[in-house]
Structure 1
Amino acid sequence: MMLVKIKNLDLHLDYLRKWLLIATAIGVVAGVGAIAFYEAIHWSTYLFLQLGVGYTPPAPLGEGKLVVTGISRRWMIPVVTTLGGLLSGLIVFRFAPEAEGHGTDAAIEAFHYKDGIIRARVPLIKVIASAITIGSGGSAGREGPTAQIAAGFGSLMGQLLRLNTDDRRIALATGIGAGIGAIFKAPLGGALLSTEILYLEGFEIQALVPSFIASLIGYTIFASYAGYTPVFGWMSQQVSFHPITLLYYSLLGVLGGLIGILYVRTFYATRNYFRELNMPKWLKPAVGGLLAGIIGLFLPQVLGMGYGWLQLGMLNNPLPLTITLLLIFAKILSTSLSIGSGGSGGVFAPGLFIGGMLGTGLWQLLHRVVAYVPASPAPFIVVGMMALFGAVARAPLAVMFMVGEMTGGYALLVPAMIAVGIAYVLVGNNTIYESQVPTPADSPAHRFDCYFPQLEKVMVKEVMSTDIPVVTPRDSVKYCWEILKRRKLNDLAVVGGKNNAQLVGVVAKEDIVRLPLQQWQTTLVGQVMSAPPVVVAPEVTLDRALTLMADNDIAFLPVLAEGKLVGMVTRSRIIRHYLLAVQRVSA
């Protein structure tokens, strides 16, 4: 048994070594890519808004100076946003059309429908086009481009290392988490997001461990350059709480859900309108930029990401109520125009801005009217951010942790759970990421593994093989090899105990060929066998058995009844039965 445990440990170590190397490389690229994108936005903002418009948007505490300046050439706002849209459109549609829109959705689409493949040029084009869009005042965020940078590298690594399709998809998902975790200084939230954002209702659990590694490394590299202070400083450290406030946060959840639906539907209605517009694709982002710039003439707070304006509210210096309420709808429209027209940028920052302004507005309406409202709007802003975007992204858990990391703590998780839960239910299947699928069973990545309607009522005992050759731990490796070769098998069950009826392990061809040929006669099966894999009972259905094989990356399952080995079911036998069943149904 000790040899079995050691063998099993070796398999886990092989897995850990593989993903430690791959995830580390992805994390390094995510961190460096986040720095490059961060600086590209900085210089683009300096060129377009500071020099062109004479306007410096306020920055959050963790990213620069929180200074509100005037606008010396306000009339230049539509000119600059139009120029930014034009340049972005020319670059994207000339070199990488798939870089239009918000990059996270493109990465999700590649995971489900493109075998985890993203063209190598896409991340670079996405960085340039998105930096121009955001820096010129387009209403967009950083999450999509950064996710696509690291996801693209994960995909490229998968191709260069000749990983199988499943591993290539995991590398891509790992990149999503690493990129977002780095740029938002939210490694835990980023890692969770990579598993949650792919589905409306489900998780890609296999991506979790690699994402933890890559996200932590990406965060460390980026934060060592940009500073370890959370994006919004330490806003969530000391928050007073009273049970009655849960009613207020419940109301915030209701409003967040309703505004979230408006955000999603406005965004995709605008996107669909621009797709049908009869003009060159490269020109459409310029039109969207022009219209967004006109909104910015009257409400310049919609320009760029807008984090600085949220920060002012957190520091108890919110905008007037009328402006705050107008900004909710203006940001929805300007984001839809900037990105939906074919511009390049993320939807995370606009979603946080809309949710934060919603929280600010509700706080302003309540704090002088009812009791126990916090003295500062900060709690309402933070919870509003979590509720709205957690709902429309269909990733409530990840977004709660992300915003907690961005604001320096988790003191607001209790009210956030109320608000996010309500908003999540209200939003339903309205999602800002249209490439999400309902569950893993609905994804082409897992459909073959998870759902076989013809197999739901067929039990393992109906198709299992009972004529199974076996060996004992005391047999020689050479004897085992002769059986494998004669029966044209890849694996053999190893039995022991009373009457050799108990399954004690399995031995595979790979276990034997690792040994020098001259050692085959003297080496015993017990020295090379692996621990028994997952086993099934005869009454288990074939769809469940096939899913177990897929989850454990094996091609067969021993069948045990009352602790005794009674048969073996293989993937090939199940598939053969499935094909015959389909033929009978179709006849």
Structure 2
Amino acid sequence: MFKKISSTLFNLLKYIARWAAMVTPVAIAIGSMVALFLWLLNWAIQFRFGHTWLLFLLPLAGVAINLLYKWYGQSAERGNNLIIDEIHQPGAGVPKRMAPLILITTVITHLFGGSAGREGTAVQIGGSLANLFAGWFKLDEADKKTILTAGVAAGFGAVFGTPVTGAIFALEVIAVSRMDYKLLFPCLVAGFVGDITVAAWGIKHTAYHVDIVDTGQVIYGQHLPLSLLLLAKVVAAAIAFGAASMAFAQATHVVKAISLKWIKTTWLIPVIGGLIIIGLTYLLGRPDYLSLGVAAEHPGAVTIVSAFQHDGSFAFSWLWKLIYTAITLGTGFKGGEVTPLFYIGATLGNTLAELMNAPVGLFAALGFIAVFAGATNTPLACTLMGIELFGGHYALLFAVACFIAYLFSGEGGIYSAQRAASNKLHAQKAVKPGYLHRMFNRYKL
């Protein structure tokens, strides 16, 4: 018995030491490149704030991005979906050029005002560098899957400063309703090392503040830890968050599919997309829905940060950000979807809080994570993100909002390569392929 226990313990320690030693240099490299990306992204956004005329060059920037991917991109054009496919079934590999290409083209998108995020860039940096190290380490297919997943965790944890979320996101995003816990330790190491590396380079993440309010209720002299009325409001808001998730995912896919179907000259697609963004900005008379949406271009601008305050958002700010981002990403500009999802969720939460007489900061935080949860089918990761970003005081409400939004976001998501281990509701019949699914297959979206 003692010999068996000793052998098991030895194998466990060997597993931990092997993966810690293997993942650490990968995560340091990923964290360093993410730090460079975040620094360049902040520079690009601030530079555009001081040179607003750059928006008029957005169509030309789109042409440059299109040509870069046409000449050098090859399979890298598929972005996050390529990495997810490679984790499911290693084969073609993730090209080395993916990391520098997505970094450069994302900075270009933001420099000229395109509405996009940064998660897609960080995940592709993580996947590309992890694949490079896998080749150097001469890993077999099973170990390559592990290190690719850890690369995703490092990239995500590094770009948002949420290492635990990064680890769980990497496991959860691969397949709906299924997680491979054998990969948890390497992903946790990668998430923490990636985050620490970014911090070591002096890059700071945006801080969000949620006021602490009493969520309890007294009924017949007994104090309940959670107000039933507040819970009902959270459930109602979460359903709306799920619907917004589904609308965002479908809008982005539809814009891409329609563009490819009706515009045969591919470099014209981002030109038209850029012109529409310019036209909408001057029609609305506000630049608030351009770029990342975190920093304020002018006093009174609607941003993710302002959405946590009373009067920090307009009633339809979330819808305009959804439209801007769907057009930007759907017409070929580069970046992620997650930060725009944060913006959509936070501003929608602000609007719903005003309508339902609920705490604004709390509902902005709920929307921030729940719309993301619904669009990516990662409710557990997003619940943990709420705790890492906003504290654990509202952990129960974070979970309620994320899982209900996930259930009400439909069977799809923003990642077409994401596989469904089962339907969200087991009693629900399998969804038959519809128009969007046929378009995905036809255009390999």
| TM-score bin (small chain) | 0.7 to 0.9
CA distance in 2, matches of 1:44, 1:286: 20
1:7 aligned residue: 7
The one-character-per-residue Cα deviations of 1:489-525 (angstroms, maximum 9, x if unpaired) are: xxxxxxxxxxxxxxxxxxxxxxxxxxxxxxxxxxxxx
**Where does the alignment leave 5 or more consecutive residues of structure 2 unmatched?**
217-226, 296-302, 423-445
Is 1:318 matched up with 2:309?
A: no
Spell out the pairing of 1:313-462 with structure 2 (5 A cutoff): 313-319=307-313, 324-367=314-357, 373-374=358-359, 377-407=360-390, 409-439=391-421
CA distance in 1, matches of 2:320, 2:279: 11
Aligned to 1:96, the other structure's residue is in SS state helix
The one-character-per-residue Cα deviations of 1:304-353 (angstroms, maximum 9, x if unpaired) are: 1112412112244513xxxx233222212211111111221101011111
Spell out the pairing of 1:74-473 with structure 2 (5 A cutoff): 77=55, 79-100=56-77, 103-115=79-91, 117-226=93-202, 231-233=206-208, 235-236=209-210, 238-242=212-216, 243=227, 244-297=229-282, 298=284, 299-308=286-295, 309-319=303-313, 324-367=314-357, 373-374=358-359, 377-407=360-390, 409-439=391-421
- Structure 2 vs 1, CA of residues 231 and 403 (structure 1 numbering), >3 Å: closer, same or farther? farther
Quote how far apart the aligned CAs of 1:161 are.
1.3
Q: Percent identity?
A: 23
Give the AA of the match of 1:193.
F
User: Is residue 105–residue 435 contact of structure 1 (8 Å, CA) maintained in 2?
Assistant: yes
User: Is residue 182–residue 215 contact of structure 1 (8 Å, CA) maintained in 2?
Assistant: yes
CA distance in 2, matches of 1:267, 1:178: 26
- Structure 2 vs 1, CA of residues 80 and 224 (structure 1 numbering), >3 Å: closer, same or farther? same
CA distance in 2, matches of 1:220, 1:281: 41
- Structure 2 vs 1, CA of residues 277 and 29 (structure 1 numbering), >3 Å: closer, same or farther? farther
CA distance in 2, matches of 1:45, 1:392: 25
Quote how far apart the aligned CAs of 1:167 are.
0.9
Give the AA of the match of 1:17.
A
Give the AA of the match of 1:267.
T
The one-character-per-residue Cα deviations of 1:409-454 (angstroms, maximum 9, x if unpaired) are: 12222222222222211113121111100129xxxxxxxxxxxxxx
User: Is residue 38–residue 203 contact of structure 2 (8 Å, CA) maintained in 1?
Assistant: no
User: Is residue 42–residue 135 contact of structure 1 (8 Å, CA) maintained in 2?
Assistant: no
The one-character-per-residue Cα deviations of 1:237-286 (angstroms, maximum 9, x if unpaired) are: 73431412111111111111122221111111111112224344344223
User: Is residue 104–residue 148 contact of structure 1 (8 Å, CA) maintained in 2?
Assistant: yes
1:449 aligned residue: none
TM-score if structure 2 supplies the norm length? Answer: 0.85
- Structure 2 vs 1, CA of residues 206 and 221 (structure 1 numbering), >3 Å: closer, same or farther? same
Give the AA of the match of 1:38.
L
Quote how far apart the aligned CAs of 1:300 are.
1.5
CA distance in 1, matches of 2:202, 2:308: 21
- Structure 2 vs 1, CA of residues 404 and 303 (structure 1 numbering), >3 Å: closer, same or farther? farther
CA distance in 2, matches of 1:399, 1:250: 16
The one-character-per-residue Cα deviations of 1:437-488 (angstroms, maximum 9, x if unpaired) are: 0129xxxxxxxxxxxxxxxxxxxxxxxxxxxxxxxxxxxxxxxxxxxxxxxx
2:435 aligned residue: none
Aligned to 2:201, the other structure's residue is in SS state helix
CA distance in 1, matches of 2:49, 2:243: 36
CA distance in 2, matches of 1:205, 1:116: 25
The one-character-per-residue Cα deviations of 1:161-217 (angstroms, maximum 9, x if unpaired) are: 111111101111111111110110001111110100111211132221101101101
CA distance in 1, matches of 2:75, 2:113: 22
User: Is residue 391–residue 420 contact of structure 1 (8 Å, CA) maintained in 2?
Assistant: yes
Aligned to 1:427, the other structure's residue is in SS state coil
The higher-RCO structure (CA 8 Å, 6+ apart) is 2
Quote how far apart the aligned CAs of 1:86 are.
2.3
User: Is residue 82–residue 288 contact of structure 1 (8 Å, CA) maintained in 2?
Assistant: yes
- Structure 2 vs 1, CA of residues 379 and 80 (structure 1 numbering), >3 Å: closer, same or farther? farther
TM-score if structure 1 supplies the norm length? Answer: 0.65
Give the AA of the match of 2:291.
G
Aligned to 2:335, the other structure's residue is in SS state coil
Is 1:26 matched up with 2:26?
A: yes
User: Is residue 270–residue 336 contact of structure 1 (8 Å, CA) maintained in 2?
Assistant: yes
Give the AA of the match of 1:333.
I
Greater radius of gyration (CA)? 1
- Structure 2 vs 1, CA of residues 403 and 115 (structure 1 numbering), >3 Å: closer, same or farther? farther
In the alignment of these two chains, the number of paired residues is 403
**Where does the alignment leave 5 or more consecutive residues of structure 1 unmatched?**
54-72, 368-372, 441-587
Quote how far apart the aligned CAs of 1:394 are.
0.4
Give the AA of the match of 1:288.
G
User: Is residue 108–residue 436 contact of structure 1 (8 Å, CA) maintained in 2?
Assistant: yes
CA distance in 2, matches of 1:252, 1:208: 32
2:427 aligned residue: none
CA distance in 2, matches of 1:278, 1:139: 21
CA distance in 1, matches of 2:366, 2:121: 25
User: Is residue 116–residue 155 contact of structure 1 (8 Å, CA) maintained in 2?
Assistant: no
CA distance in 1, matches of 2:249, 2:270: 19
User: Is residue 76–residue 94 contact of structure 2 (8 Å, CA) maintained in 1?
Assistant: no
CA distance in 2, matches of 1:225, 1:239: 36
User: Is residue 236–residue 410 contact of structure 1 (8 Å, CA) maintained in 2?
Assistant: no
- Structure 2 vs 1, CA of residues 93 and 240 (structure 1 numbering), >3 Å: closer, same or farther? farther
- Structure 2 vs 1, CA of residues 403 and 94 (structure 1 numbering), >3 Å: closer, same or farther? farther
1:52 aligned residue: 51
CA distance in 2, matches of 1:149, 1:85: 21
Quote how far apart the aligned CAs of 1:109 are.
2.3
